[in-house]
């Protein structure tokens, strides 16, 4: 095998030494890109697997450190990147499908790290992630990998562990550079970034006016300083967007590929969001979805807001209970899912009932049957009562 690799390197050396892109026919440029890319990816997988084998020989920590250093040096990457590649190489041992795809040149180094990391937690996600690696962007793969990991984990347990390990350290190194490293639950990271981002945007705008161009990381640093020295004033905070499937919201936890995540940060447990709601962050907005469709932009207060009220007036000119003719002015808004449980006001989950029917519901357990608009209102023993017809999914 080593013989073949040496010959391959010789062949590659000969090709590269005389390679002149001007000599490639225009019709063949795409093929050259595909070939070069596939070879690069195959060899990245070979290097990861080799480093993993190197790490497994000898005493655990020393061998692993040595392997990371060798890999970083050989492939010209940072120790951080090399460590990720090594981890992926180790994980491939138990992932024959992912290993086969990587060795077939289907996964780049970052793709391999994402897929192997997610499949290590959620083995069933392999086919979907490998398919996405072929067709999607790296960002899409990163998002989907995070979801696959989340589906394979107890998110609430994970959050507690991350919370326990939260930390913020600062130190000054020998070159006189100040460092700050913070880690913690992602929903709190989202809050910090929502506060910081407008300051970073301001720094970017200021730089643009002066004709300066710097890295986004530089503006983020300026944003941090701006935030720390603003004394509470400054540009208004950006929003933290919670995306949740309607069914998840009603049930309390996600199943299958339902979504419950902080947009741009990743999946969270529903408890994490309840905590956010309880600290009363006015910049938290919820987008309620059903599959890919947005059902509603939920409102986090208890009472419907003005827009929702107008829609309700239009949807319920009279009491929702079948056979009742009580007019709008005398109706009360009813949360189909107890607000204390859901903490959000979603238009699609509101009904309007007259005082009489509302009381029957609250005190005697009557309920509207599944559906929307005007419909049958039944006692607890009725087979159509939503608690008995629980098998039926969310409206």
Q: Is 361 in the site for Zn ion (CB under 5 A)?
A: no
The answer to whether 287 touches 294, Cβ cutoff 8 Å, is yes
Q: How far is the CB of 325 from Zn ion (least distance, A)?
A: 8
Q: Which is nearer to Zn ion, 264 or 379 (CB)?
A: 379
Secondary structure of 179-227 in HEC code, one letter for each residue: EEEEECCHHHHHHHHHHHHHHHHHHHHHHHHCCCCCCHHHHHHHHHHHH
Q: Is 354 in the site for Zn ion (CB under 5 A)?
A: yes
Nearest-angstrom CA–CA distance, 162 and 156: 10
Q: Cα dist. 199→11, 52, 64, 189, 368 in Å? A: 53, 43, 41, 16, 49
Q: How far is the CB of 346 from Zn ion (least distance, A)?
A: 22
Q: Which is nearer to Zn ion, 299 or 358 (CB)?
A: 358
Q: How far is the CB of 392 from Zn ion (least distance, A)?
A: 23
Residue 66 neighbours by CB distance under 10 Å: 16
Directed axis angle between helix 60-75 and helix 79-91, to 10°?
120
Q: How far is the CB of 133 from Zn ion (least distance, A)?
A: 56
The secondary structure of 331-342 as a DSSP string is: EEEEESS-HHHH
The answer to whether 48 touches 89, Cβ cutoff 8 Å, is yes
Q: Which stretch binds Zn ion (CB under 5 A): 53-61, 97-105, 291-299, 353-361?
A: 353-361
Q: How far is the CB of 130 from Zn ion (least distance, A)?
A: 55
Q: How far is the CB of 364 from Zn ion (least distance, A)?
A: 14
Q: Is 368 in the site for Zn ion (CB under 5 A)?
A: no
Q: Which stretch binds Zn ion (CB under 5 A): 232-240, 250-258, 293-301, 325-333?
A: 325-333
Q: How far is the CB of 312 from Zn ion (least distance, A)?
A: 15
Q: Which is nearer to Zn ion, 19 or 356 (CB)?
A: 356
Residues binding Zn ion: number (CB under 5 A): 6
Instruction: Single out the residue of 220, 297, 324, 360 in contact with Zn ion (rule: CB under 5 A).
Output: 324
Q: Which stretch binds Zn ion (CB under 5 A): 141-149, 269-277, 333-341, 351-359?
A: 351-359
Q: Which is nearer to Zn ion, 149 or 357 (CB)?
A: 357
Q: Which is nearer to Zn ion, 350 or 354 (CB)?
A: 354
Q: How far is the CB of 357 from Zn ion (least distance, A)?
A: 4
What is the DSSP code (8-state) at residue 264?
Answer: T
Nearest-angstrom CA–CA distance, 165 and 335: 38
The answer to whether 71 touches 85, Cβ cutoff 8 Å, is yes
Q: Is 114 in the site for Zn ion (CB under 5 A)?
A: no
Residue 160 neighbours by CB distance under 10 Å: 15
Q: Is 268 in the site for Zn ion (CB under 5 A)?
A: no
Q: Which of residues 284-323 bind Zn ion (CB under 5 A)?
A: 319, 321
Positive or negative CA dihedral for 253, 256, 258, 262?
positive
Instruction: Using alpha carbons, select from 363, 358, 361 the residue that is nearest to residue 386.
Output: 361
Q: How far is the CB of 336 from Zn ion (least distance, A)?
A: 16
Q: Which is nearer to Zn ion, 250 or 319 (CB)?
A: 319
Q: How far is the CB of 375 from Zn ion (least distance, A)?
A: 12
The secondary structure of 130-177 as a DSSP string is: HHHHHHS-HHHHHHHHHHHHHHTS-HHHHHHHHHHT-EEEEEE-TTS-
For residue 262, the surrounding DSSP H or E stretch is strand 260-262
Instruction: Single out the residue of 84, 109, 357, 385 in contact with Zn ion (rule: CB under 5 A).
Output: 357
Q: Which is nearer to Zn ion, 249 or 368 (CB)?
A: 368
Q: Which is nearer to Zn ion, 347 or 354 (CB)?
A: 354
The contacts found for 206-211 with CB under 8 angstroms, 24 or more apart, are: none
Q: Which is nearer to Zn ion, 42 or 324 (CB)?
A: 324
Residues found near Zn ion in the complex (CB under 5 A): 319, 321, 324, 326, 354, 357
């Amino acid at each position: 095998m080593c013989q073949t690799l040496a010959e391959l390197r010789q062949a590659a050396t000969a090709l590269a030494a005389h390679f002149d892109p001007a000599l490639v026919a225009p019709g063949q440029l795409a093929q050259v890109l595909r070939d070069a890319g596939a070879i690069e990816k195959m060899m990245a997988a070979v290097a990861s697997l080799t480093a993993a084998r190197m790490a497994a020989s000898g005493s655990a920590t020393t061998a692993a450190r040595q392997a990371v250093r060798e890999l970083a040096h050989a492939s010209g990457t940072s120790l951080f990147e090399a460590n990720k590649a090594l981890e992926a190489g180790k994980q491939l041992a138990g992932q024959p499908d992912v290993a086969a795809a990587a060795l077939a040149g289907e996964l780049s180094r970052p793709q391999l790290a994402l897929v192997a990391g997610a499949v290590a937690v959620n083995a069933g996600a392999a086919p979907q992630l490998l398919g996405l690696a072929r067709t999607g962007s790296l960002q899409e793969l990163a998002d989907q990998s995070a979801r696959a990991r989340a589906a394979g984990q107890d998110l609430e347990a994970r959050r507690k562990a991350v919370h326990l390990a939260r930390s913020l350290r600062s130190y000054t190194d020998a070159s006189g550079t100040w460092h700050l490293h913070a880690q913690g639950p992602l929903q709190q990271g989202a809050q910090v970034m929502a506060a910081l981002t407008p300051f970073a945007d301001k720094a970017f705008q200021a730089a643009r006016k002066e004709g300066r161009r710097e890295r986004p990381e530089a503006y983020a640093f300026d944003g941090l300083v701006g935030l720390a020295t603003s004394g509470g004033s400054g540009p208004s905070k950006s929003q933290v967007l919670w995306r949740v499937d309607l069914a998840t919201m009603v049930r309390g936890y996600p199943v299958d590929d339902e979504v419950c995540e902080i947009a741009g940060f990743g999946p969270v447990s529903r408890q994490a969001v309840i905590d956010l709601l309880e600290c009363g962050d006015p910049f938290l907005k919820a987008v309620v979805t059903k599959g890919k469709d947005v059902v509603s932009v939920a409102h986090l207060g208890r009472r419907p807001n003005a827009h929702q009220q107008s829609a309700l007036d239009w949807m319920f000119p009279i009491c929702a209970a079948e056979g009742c003719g009580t007019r709008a002015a005398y109706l009360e808004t009813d949360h189909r899912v107890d607000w204390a449980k859901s903490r959000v006001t979603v238009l699609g989950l509101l009904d309007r009932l007259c005082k009489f029917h509302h009381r029957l519901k609250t005190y005697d357990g009557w309920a509207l049957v599944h559906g929307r608009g005007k419909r049958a209102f039944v006692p607890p023993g009725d087979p159509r009562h939503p608690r008995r017809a629980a098998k039926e999914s969310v409206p």
